[in-house]
Structures are given as structure tokens and as C-alpha cells.
């Protein structure tokens, strides 16, 4: 299950080529969870028992398996969703089966590693640039958690108001990366749907500028072998070239980077990365349990 | 052994309370290695065989155990030191014993985890602010490597030239963190030894400002439980309070941080963190080998 701020994606299956999926709008926690449970139960009746659950959720989320509130969304600006426990109602409905719980971007990163553009990579970063911006990292072959989880969307980037007088629209930080470079920021700054901006609109150079600054700092911190950039804004495929060029300029030859076309890539799984990643996480749990005949 | 750009620290022993140490200036690779070998061999004659070697070195360094040049310093601006193999001459002299090789800051982080200010922490960052700036991270209980190793000193931070007209002195990036906030940058900007700047000099507010910006981005990327800030510049202990305040402002309540006094701390091992970390790395190698009677 991918729990997104605007839509929920639920799927049952064993992989890329065996997947039953449904999508519905995210409403109240009660209704959204009810719809998810109803899909899982009806699919289970046809396909046989679901053996494990994987959830990738919008955050901030309690992904600490040792925490009393593991499996919950924490204090979120999204109305009515603060302190929503996703794990308990799903496990009540589906039986006390293993449950994996991650942020949506961590799950997407994991999906890209299993089936997408990061196969066999132990160190890479997945970033989504959509209405908001989020990022997840795999480091040394494991999802990077730290004490909580990364919040890469809120990275601070240099903001020159002479070039870009837009204040930024992040409710917490104003002009952090998300405040300056998310789909929402583009909409605010240019007062139109960003998809209407032509390829040669200066807004795209500015967008590449901010994203390259964030990628430069992530490179210097995590030393990843690849960046996978997904989300609605990155459907502007001309952005990839602009970001590669600017990142290379920023780092000024200090690090030996992989080929830029290999270093900064689109997702292999597109908009399915999150739900497939949640599936991959559930499968990992099953593989640690003795198999049943 | 800690191989620093200005001095070498060599030590033999079993821990904090059993350590024979020597320090000498870093000269040419040949002479520096000769001095190190000579210390290790004479100490060995008195104490018995050295069982493993740990090296923490200035970088960039090849710390990939699967690389043909593992144990070497890579292309470095430090004259005569590019492509210097440290591992081979030490192992030739001391026998084919296990050898650990890390960056100086990774080693220092590891030392702080074993004996210093990060005991029992699985997620933290060690940063040294001296002539240059470097950082190492422990993530999920392991030293974070990525494809190469972090280069946190070169993080890009916002630079407002109206407040700070100094261009920055990093030869690669100009106004990266190191270019704006290292001891060398302070010396250049204020045209004096930074130790001469009084506690209420505005230079310290500026210093805290840049460091807090870097720490904010590292927090959002790595979600560490603690920052340990060492190096000569951080001997200005009033900086800790200034950095804590500014970091808290930057993050604007978005993340729930630990108590700031616990979150940003000085090293427990002071200037010995590097060499003790190298010792800890060597001990880790021994612990994986069947013990000898």
C-alpha cells in the first residue's frame, strides 16, 4: 500500500508482472483505511491469503520497529491525519501477519532497487519532485533511517532574490528546496500549471539550478552511485540534461562522478515505484520467515 | 595511525589507557612513512607483535576494500601526496597483518563511538572544523561510505555577499562551507589568527550561521542522533551555543530534535579521536580473527 497525500494505491501480488492494483483519493483516515481493507479482503478471497503487508506512507512517519507507535503517521500538516495508526487496522483486518512500514520515498527507493533503475546498487538516492519534494536513500544496501527518517525535501539551498524574488511557499521554512522547487512552488511563482511552461521558459533553468544545488549537497554527504528523480515535475524530461550540467559545474571536478547520464536518471517504475516498493518490503519480511508448503 | 595533512600521529596499544603515541610533522610521503614504520617497529620490539593496523588519513582516499588501490591517498591538492600507497609499505614492514583504512574523519567518528561522545549511538555525525573542514557519519551502526566517501566540508551553503563580502577560499568551489567557515577562511576574512577574535566579534555569529546551515542539511539528510564538532575552531566553546540556537531556528520546529545540548556536542577524545579511531578499527579486524593463545 502506498499512502499518499492525495491518493492511495493498493496492490496485491508477487511482483511486477503479477499485480492487482486499485487507486482511490485520500479522504479521511477512517474512510481511506476502510477502502484499503475492503480491497485487500476482496482480493484475498479470490487469490488466497495475503502473507505480509508493506506500507509506504507520506510523512512524517514512525518507522521505528521498536517504537510503541510504529506504523503511524506522526504530527503532519495534512488535516485530520496527525497520529493516524495505519498498521493496527490493517493487521486487525488481515490477520496478525508481518508488516513493513516506511516512508513513501523509502519504499519507492526500495522498489527501484528490486525492479527499477537501481538494480544491484547499494548506494543511491530516490527523489520525487511533485506537489511536494521528498527523498529516500539506500546506503550500504540498506534503507537509510537515522534516528527518524530523512526529510530531503526541506534541504536549504542558496536563494538569490535578485534572480528569483519568489519567497518560497513551504509553510515551515519558506525558501527551502520544497518551497522553491516543488510543483506547488512552480505554480505559485509562475501563476499557471507548470506543465504549461514551455521547454525554453527560464523557470526550468531556475528549477534545474535548485535541484542541482540539492543534489550537490546530497552527493557530498552520501556519495551515492546514482540519483533517481521521479514525480510529476520530472516528467519534463529536458530537466535531466539541465540538472546534470549544473551539478557537474557545482562540484567543479572535485569528485570523480559516474557518467552523468548514468548518475542522474528517471525511475524505472514510474508512478508505480511506491506501491511496488511496499510490495518488495513485504516480500523481504516473508523471506525471513520459514516458508509454508 | 592518523595521517594528517600537517602532522602524523602514530600509536600502539590496546585502548585509551594503554597507548604509546608519537607525533611528527607530515613531510614527503617517503620520509613520513619511514618515520611511522620506524616507530612501529621499535615499539613492537618492546611490546611484542602488532596484530593489526588501522589508518585514518586525509583524503580523498581509496577506502574500498575491493579496489586494487585500496589503502592509497587519491588525487589530492597536497603536493607530492597524490596516489600515495600507505597500506603496502606498512604491511611490508609489519608483516602481512590485517589493515583497516578510512578517512581521518571516519576514523575519528569511530573512535568517538568506541570511547568518546558517541558511545552506543548508531546514527551520528562527526565534523572537524580546523584549517579545513571534514565530516564522517555513522549510519545504522556502520561508517557511511557510499560509492567513495563523504566530503561534507564542501557542502554548499547560502552566502549573502551583502552580509559577508568575503569570496571564500576553497580552491575548488570558492564559497562552499570550507571556503567560508574553515580556520583558513577565518584567517583570510579577518586577516588575523582566528584565536585572536574576541568572543563578541561578529565573525563568530557568521561562523555559527554557516555551520548551522550545514548541520541543518545534514540533519535533513541523515537524521542523526548527535553531532560531534571538533577541530581547532571549535575550541571556541561559545560557538556551540550559537550553533544550537541557529540550527533550531533553521529547522523551525519541523523535526523533533533531541535536547540541543545533547544534539550538538564537543568530542570526548579531543585531538586523539583520529588515532584512537584508527586503533578501534584495527581492533575490530582482530575481533573477526580467531584469537591466539
At B153-170, the pLDDT tens digits run: 999 999 999 999 999 999
Average predicted confidence (pLDDT) for chain B = 95
Does the B119-267 domain belong in CATH 3.30.420.40? yes
CB atoms within 10 A of CB B120: 7
Whether A217 sits inside 8 A of B222 (CB atoms) is: no
Spatial neighbors of B48 by CB under 8 A, at least 6 apart, are: none
Instruction: Inform me whether the pLDDT recorded for B291 exceeds 90.
Output: no
Neighboring chain A residues of B251 at a CB cutoff of 8 Å: 173
Binning chain A into helix, strand and coil, the percentages to the nearest 5 are: 40, 20, 40
Among candidates B147, B172, B224 on the partner chain, residue whose Cβ is nearest the Cβ of A147? B224
- Find the mean pLDDT for residues B100-129: 97
Q: Is the pLDDT of residue B290 over 90?
A: no
CATH code matching the domain that covers A2-106+271-287, chosen among 3.30.1490.20, 3.30.56.10, 3.20.20.140, 3.30.420.40: 3.30.420.40
| Numbered ranges of CATH 3.30.420.40 in chain A | 2-106+271-287, 119-267
pLDDT band, very low/low/confident/very high, at B76 (cuts 50, 70, 90): confident
| Calpha distance B127→B155 (Å, rounded) | 12
Count of residues making up chain A: 293
pLDDT for A161 equals: 95
pLDDT tens per residue, range A50-97: 999 999 999 899 999 999 999 999 988 889 999 999 999 999 999 999
pLDDT at B184: 96
Confidence check: pLDDT of B88 > 60: yes
Q: How far apart are CA A54 and CA A285, in angstroms?
A: 9
User: What tens digit of pLDDT does each residue of B17-35 get?
Assistant: 999 999 999 999 999 999 9
Contact (CB<8Å) B173/A140: no
The pLDDT value given to residue B293: 46
Contacts of B152 in chain A (CB under 8 A): 220-221
Q: Are strands A124-129 and A133-139 parallel, antiparallel or unpaired?
A: antiparallel
Task: State CA A197 to chain mean position distance.
Answer: 24
Share of chain A above pLDDT 70, in %: 98
**Model pLDDT, residue A292:** 52
At A293 the pLDDT is 46
β-strands A72-73, A84-85: how paired? antiparallel
Contacts of B263 in chain A (CB under 8 A): none
How far is B157 from B169, CA to CA, in rounded Å? 14
Q: Which residue ranges of chain A lie beneath pLDDT 70?
A: 289-293
ipTM of the complex: 0.95
Amino acid at each position: 500500500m502506498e499512502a499518499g497525500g492525495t491518493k492511495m494505491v493498493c496492490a496485491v501480488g508477487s511482483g511486477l508482472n503479477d499485480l492487482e492494483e486499485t487507486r482511490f483519493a485520500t479522504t479521511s483516515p477512517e474512510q481511506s483505511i476502510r477502502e484499503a481493507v475492503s480491497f485487500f479482503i476482496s482480493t484475498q478471497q479470490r487469490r488466497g491469503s495475503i502473507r505480509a503487508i508493506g506500507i509506504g506512507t507520506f510523512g512524517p512517519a514512525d518507522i521505528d520497529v521498536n517504537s510503541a507507535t510504529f506504523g503511524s503517521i506522526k504530527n503532519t500538516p495534512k488535516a485530520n491525519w496527525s497520529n493516524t495508526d495505519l498498521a493496527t487496522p490493517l493487521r486487525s483486518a488481515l490477520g496478525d501477519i508481518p508488516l513493513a512500514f516506511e516512508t513513501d520515498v523509502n519504499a519507492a527507493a526500495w522498489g527501484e532497487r528490486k525492479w527499477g533503475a537501481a538494480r544491484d546498487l547499494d548506494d543511491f538516492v530516490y527523489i520525487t519532485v511533485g506537489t511536494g519534494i521528498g527523498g529516500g536513500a539506500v546506503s550500504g544496501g540498506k534503507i537509510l533511517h537515522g534516528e527518524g527518517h530523512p526529510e530531503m525535501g526541506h534541504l536549504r539551498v542558496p536563494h538569490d532574490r535578485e534572480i528569483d524574488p519568489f519567497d518560497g511557499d513551504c509553510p515551515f521554512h519558506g525558501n527551502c528546496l520544497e518551497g522553491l522547487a516543488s510543483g506547488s512552488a512552480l505554480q505559485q511563482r509562475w501563476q499557471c500549471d507548470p506543465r504549461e511552461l514551455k521547454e525554453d521558459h527560464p523557470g526550468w533553468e531556475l528549477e534545474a539550478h535548485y535541484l542541482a544545488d540539492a543534489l550537490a549537497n546530497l552527493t557530498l554527504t552520501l556519495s551515492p552511485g546514482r540519483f533517481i528523480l521521479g514525480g510529476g515535475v520530472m516528467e519534463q524530461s529536458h530537466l535531466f540534461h539541465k540538472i546534470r550540467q549544473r551539478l557537474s559545474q557545482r562540484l567543479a571536478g572535485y569528485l570523480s562522478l559516474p557518467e552523468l547520464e548514468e548518475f542522474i536518471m528517471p525511475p524505472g517504475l514510474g508512478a508505480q515505484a511506491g506501491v511496488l516498493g511496499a510490495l518488495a518490503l513485504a516480500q523481504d519480511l516473508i523471506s525471513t520467515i520459514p516458508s509454508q508448503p
